[in-house]
Copies of this chain bind each other. A is one copy, B any other.
Amino acid sequence: MQRALIRLRHSKHKMVKKALLFLADKAEDTEVVITVDVLRRAGIELIVAGVDGSDAVTCIQKTRILPDVEIERCQNEVFDALILPGGPGFENLINNSIVGSIVEKHLDQNKIIAGICAGTKVMCHYKVGLGSKITTYPKYKQDLEKSYKLLDDRVVVDGNLITSQGPGTAFDFALTIVRELCGQEKSKEVAEKLRVNF
């Protein structure tokens, strides 16, 4: 029985996982790119969706990134995880009805929703896991303390919610998503190659 369970868990982790990252102007450069890099190294099929089309997006520190697709092309798909990066661009994720409908669909289907830095404010706007334990960038604590139980950890996992603080915690954030989707062994293997202690 134990062996059968191990096999089942192993085969679950063997399936290719899919994730979607929402990219908007003024996103936090490092939070976007670290998450994309780490998830793809783990073999996760990650799509970077431009919330304002497929033109290059200018992140807050002026790195210009081309999305893989425009968000419209993702609205009929289901992903294992949605990723909400931070930066002042979080407001572009709040003011976008397609982002809203994708988040709501994934919430209904109990998929992982992961937010870092101001991405946690997007979660709050769409009422994702209200009352759950989360962490966020220090200056957003006050805005979120009525809706969530705020912890000071670098990353918090509570049910299907994964949250983190900012650029400097983005490797831990991304490796936690890998661990939840692909297992502890894969997250350790990726961390080792990156020279990250995880």
Query: Residues of A with Cβ closer than 8 Å to B?
Result: 29-30, 32-34, 36-37, 40-41, 48, 56, 61-66, 137, 154, 165-169, 171, 191, 193-197
Contact = CB atoms under 8 A, between A and B. Distances in A.
A127 to B, nearest CB: 26
B36 A34 contact: no
A118 to B, nearest CB: 13
Contact of A65 (B37, B64, B195, B196): B64
A30 B41 CA distance: 12
A97 to B, nearest CB: 26
B63 A33 contact: yes
Contacts of A196: 167-168
A33 B66 CA distance: 14
